[in-house]
Chain A
Amino acid sequence: MFTWDPRWEVVIGLEVHTQLRTQSKIFSGSSTSYGAAPNTQASAVDIALPGVLPVMNEAAARMAVKFGLAIGAHINRTNVFARKNYFYPDLPKGYQISQMDLPIVGLGNIDIETAEGSKTIGITRAHLEEDAGKSLHEDYQDATGIDLNRAGTPLLEIVSEPDMSSPAEAVAYLRKLHSLVQYIDICDGNMQEGSFRCDANVSVRPRGQTELGTRTELKNINSFRFVERAIEYEIERQIDILEDGGSVVQETRLYDADRHETRSMRSKEEAHDYRYFPDPDLPPMVLEESFIESVAATLPELPAAKKARFIEQFELSPADAELLTASRAVADWFEEVVTNSQADTKLIANWMSGELFAALNKAEVEIDQSPVSAGQFATLMNRITDETLSGKTAKQVFAALWDEGGDVDGIIEAKGLKQITDSGAIEKIVDEVIAACPDQVTQFKQGNNKVIGFLVGQVMQKSQGKANPQMVNKLLQEKISQ
């Protein structure tokens, strides 16, 4: 757990660039698919030939509105595209089409869970803009290669208020946002491919001071772990500077994950003057109520509502409900198991968060690629409930399902794992154990209750784990007490 000198207070705001999962680019008909050969998805518009013009993609507008509705934000019925002017080789027009004064999504908020309980993080705005191309520095000795396939991919830049006060909160917010954009199906969330990227604004100030300290901007951090580590490093760096009597320079810094440090991006230090002005090629976007209503109709049940329903309907603890609604796929999987099983929902929740998630993590696969289907998992839960399986044998069946496939009842049959619930058969083994362990029986009679565990274990061993442990326990106690 990262800690810092408590005399300092940390202030963090995040700017998250989410790539919207449209088929075509925001202002051209080029494909947005990932991984094509360089510049094969760069059309006349994307490479900014003289005379070309942008035309706005409706799906990008819909996705932005969907996000706004999902966080209860104000939707600006009139929003305006503006040009942000600067020269860079991955920016073919010499300006980026973005939104400045009138973004499509205004004020909203997102609740996160922290160690101290629930906390509301303000969303300042979310605006549409086009992505830049990629600069490839490694391939040539004296040159940089420019690939414009990504140029013009639609982005929704989601800007938070500086409401987070620790690296852990920043990560909790980022995870929540990452889950939400996938929930509402506007972003694939793939951080390796850059579909979900984060810049962090970090500053520190003496606890109790009202004005903010000088902030630095940490650029392009592409994993949850790196966000946390980058912010941690930056907090320590800033506190060190201030405690030495120095002052923090407002600048853009790049996180180097290999060295675990942030460093100044000198090339970006030159004073920027972006000369924003409304793009004369794109009249203001005016959203009719009917448009917004049609987007609202496509909104799925949102994580917060789903979580509340899971607590209410399935009697889950808030922690379990949080875990099972963290992604839409997990929640859907859980509900499918519940529908197909008579088992207690608490049992299902425990088994999913325990055995299933452990296996998924180990294999590094998402739940929709799980080798164990929700249907088989439901049967497994039923066999525990009807006492065909014990907890232990159920784990063996799960492992067999995961590794070899097949169906639950077939595996139980083939491996002879059916639990012995016939009291006559168990009684016979119990009698054998009592006869074989006279010392322990005596100790139990003298009041050493702990020794019963040893005796149960002996019976279970002799039954090859198939005896019902509750029945064994009950019979042992009855027989010894006789």
Chain B
Amino acid sequence: MLSTLPRTYTSKLQANLPVSPITVSELSAQLRSGEISSVELTQDYLQRIERSELNAFISVSADSALAEAQTADAKRAQGDDHPLLGIPVAHKDIFCIEGTLTTCGSKILHNFIAPYTATVIQNMQNQGLVSLGKTNMDEFAMGSSNENSYYGSVTNPWSSAGEQLVPGGSSGGSAAAVAAGLAPAATGTDTGGSIRQPAAFCNLTGLKPSYGRCSRYGMIAFASSLDQAGPLTHTAADAALLLNSMAGFDTRDATSLDTPAEDFTRHLDDSIDGLIIGMPSEFFSSDLDPEVASIVEAAIKSLESLGAIVKQVSLPNSHLALPSYYVIAPAEASSNLSRFDGVRYGHRAEQYTDLVDMYTRTRTEGFGDEVKRRIMIGTYALSSGYYDAYYAQAQKLRRLIADDFNSAFEQCDLIVGPTTPAPAFPHGSKTEDPVAMYLNDIFTIPANLAGLPAASTPAGFTKAGLPVGLHLIGPYLQEAKLLNAVHRYQQETDWHLRSAPGAAATESA
């Protein structure tokens, strides 16, 4: 089948440093035109991954990736013209893929070869996407810096020579991989900001869909009522394409939405003239890094120049989102992580005296510090006598927070603000203070609590050259409208087209 492709191909990717990142849409066009084959593309990405020193991947599936690429090329030769056929992607190591090491960033799953495939991955495989490997992440998706991985921390490709920066988390490996050109797109999951925050730190487009859009079956649970899968890409157009392949009703997930399939690219090019954009005063407090504030304000001006109308709105309970989240997420996690007991799969301690000792040693050895902290907090919050004060109270505040959004969306179409209070920080700078680390997610958490779709788009750089993200939140199920605004903004700006210094360094090696 490869014989149908041009034999004179030489990798443009290898030969010339790209001035701007290569998007899925561009690769899709090249695959369609026959300019490149999926096998060539896959080999090329595998070589880049091989050369990379960012530690973005926990495992690489070179053989199965090439086999999948061959199948894709064969299908292409038979006339299959799916836009994502043969596109290589990276998957966060939270998704089970049959026959593949699936660790969730934890020692407790260091030997876990998943015996089944997550629905999201299955959907993508059905459309012909090629899986390059599994990306690094904070253990069980708990973290905002990727420093909580048992498999080591990840370097942000935007780090300058002198200072190693974190890529954000928990989907830090996915973000670093895409930003460094090790994959044109990657999957992530977002419980409190784990797609959007690393997207902001790595100059990517990150989309958290509405809760229920993407099946959670096969995605290792952190906080079940908040977790949602989504893509990390360079552009909104790519995010829409990827979401098309990931989303869909799944009978295996009782919280999956039973809505008709939709094409998330359908509104990308619509005009945003007259779109009403809400600016909640609560997202622009004095705590916000002034450089971030001015970049975000400039981005909002760009949207205005496209015809959007800016309106002040209020989310009066948003300050309660972080405390509520740090009850709900650990509580659910403490229960979700009970299955890791050394009985049926995963790590089991080598020495123990009895059953309880086996459990305790297995879990104590298998979980890292942050995971243990959250299990402890969650166990405490659910324990007898504290349930009402903690869990029930947090669930009530959650309703108040969701109600705030409902009221706001009566006055505006989308809500904007900064994705993070500050840009990427150096390795080790926040690891000693859990609460300081948690504050990273202060703007992203409210959308998780309310189940709303939200995206981060590159919006500019600090004087030090670090990317800053603009955060947009949409009403429930309005991903297409959200992506429309981001896409129009990206048509007007070129922040998302800037390549990371780390990406160039990797390719010139």
Closest Cβ–Cβ distance, residue A60 to chain B (whole Å): 14
A55 to B216, CA, bound (A): 12
User: Is residue A103 within 8 Å, beta carbon to beta carbon, of the partner chain?
Assistant: no
A interface footprint on B398-421 (CB within 8 Å = 1, 0 otherwise): 000000000000000000000000
Closest Cβ–Cβ distance, residue A394 to chain B (whole Å): 61
A55 to B345, CA, bound (A): 23
From known contacts A93-B338, A93-B339, A280-B224, infer whether A48 and B254 are also in contact, taking CB-CB under 8 Å: no
Instruction: Find out whether the CB atom of B254 lies under 8 angstroms from the CB atom of A275.
Output: no
Query: Interface majority SS on A: helix, strand, loop or mixed?
Result: loop
A281 to B335, CA, bound (A): 12
A221 to B224, CA, bound (A): 37
Interface residues of A in 440-456 (CB under 8 A from B): none
Shortest Cβ distance from B95 into A: residue: A51
User: Is residue A92 within 8 Å, beta carbon to beta carbon, of the partner chain?
Assistant: yes
User: Is residue A38 within 8 Å, beta carbon to beta carbon, of the partner chain?
Assistant: no
User: Is residue B207 within 8 Å, beta carbon to beta carbon, of the partner chain?
Assistant: no
From known contacts A51-B96, A51-B218, infer whether A280 and B225 are also in contact, taking CB-CB under 8 Å: yes
Q: How many residues belonging to B are interface residues under a CB distance threshold of 8 Å?
A: 45
The residue in B218, B332, B339, B382 that gathers the most chain A C-beta atoms within 10 A of its C-beta is: B339
From known contacts A44-B116, A50-B102, infer whether A87 and B341 are also in contact, taking CB-CB under 8 Å: yes
Size class of the A contact interface (CB-based, 8 Å): 20 to 34
A51 to B118, CA, bound (A): 8
A144 to B334, CA, bound (A): 26
A382 to B148, CA, bound (A): 86
Shortest Cβ distance from A55 into B: residue: B254
From known contacts A50-B339, A83-B335, A273-B383, infer whether A55 and B252 are also in contact, taking CB-CB under 8 Å: yes
User: Is residue B232 within 8 Å, beta carbon to beta carbon, of the partner chain?
Assistant: no
Closest Cβ–Cβ distance, residue B229 to chain A (whole Å): 11
User: Is residue B220 within 8 Å, beta carbon to beta carbon, of the partner chain?
Assistant: yes
A144 to B356, CA, bound (A): 13
Interface residues of A in 35-92 (CB under 8 A from B): 44, 47-56, 83, 85, 87, 89, 92
User: Is residue A277 within 8 Å, beta carbon to beta carbon, of the partner chain?
Assistant: yes
From known contacts A51-B96, A273-B383, A277-B382, infer whether A85 and B338 are also in contact, taking CB-CB under 8 Å: yes
Which residues on the B side are within 8 Å of A55 (C-beta)? Answer: 251-254
Shortest Cβ distance from B118 into A: residue: A51
User: Is residue B387 within 8 Å, beta carbon to beta carbon, of the partner chain?
Assistant: yes
Which residues on the A side are within 8 Å of B217 (C-beta)? Answer: 51-53
Pick from A47, A49, A144, A277: contact of B331, CB under 8 Å: A277
User: Is residue A358 within 8 Å, beta carbon to beta carbon, of the partner chain?
Assistant: no
List the 6 closest A-B pairs by CB distance, nearest first.
A94-B338, A275-B382, A280-B225, A280-B224, A48-B339, A51-B218
Provide 11 A-B residue pairs closer than 8 Å at the C-beta atoms, listed in order of the A residue.
Answer: A44-B115, A49-B345, A50-B114, A85-B382, A87-B338, A95-B338, A276-B387, A277-B331, A277-B382, A280-B255, A280-B332
- If A281-B224, A281-B254 are given as contacts, then 18 extra A-B residue pairs at C-beta distance below 8 Å, sorted by A number, are A48-B344, A49-B114, A50-B102, A50-B104, A50-B220, A51-B118, A53-B254, A55-B251, A55-B253, A87-B341, A89-B341, A89-B355, A94-B338, A95-B335, A144-B355, A146-B343, A277-B391, A280-B223
